[in-house]
Amino acid sequence: RLTGQQQEINNLMQRKSAVDEENARLKNEFSNLNQKFKDKSQELKDTEECAQKKEEQNRLVIKNLEEENKGLNTCCADLLNDLEKLRKQEGQWKTEKSGNDARIK
């Protein structure tokens, strides 16, 4: 009976040892996965910060381009007005020239 109990104790000790080894392996695996999770979380945070900075830069670029576009539109409108005035003046000069040419003849 004593031998049987001793054998059972030995078997239980072997199982405990195996369970302890498996537990240590799982703790190590958990530790590795936890570190990977922390690394990925930091990577995600860095990526989000970078995306926010780029988005802000893009907003500023768009704002500057819109302001520049307004200025160019104003300049174009002014140039078109000047062109129209010059065309009218050209028409007047042609009329005057025709009149002068007619008087000269």
Query: 42-99: per-residue pLDDT in tens?
Result: 999 999 999 999 999 999 999 999 999 999 999 999 999 999 999 999 999 999 999 9
Q: How many angstroms separate the CA atoms of 23 and 1, rounded?
A: 32
What's the mean pLDDT in 26-41?
A: 98
> Which tokens belong to 21?
């080894």
What's the mean pLDDT in 20-49?
A: 98
53-61 long-range CB contacts below 8 Å, 24 or more apart? none
Ranges of H-type helices in the chain: 2-104
Residue 35 one-letter amino acid: Q
What's the mean pLDDT in 30-36?
A: 98
Q: How many angstroms separate the CA atoms of 80 and 75, rounded?
A: 9
Q: How many angstroms separate the CA atoms of 23 and 6, rounded?
A: 25
Residue 78 one-letter amino acid: D
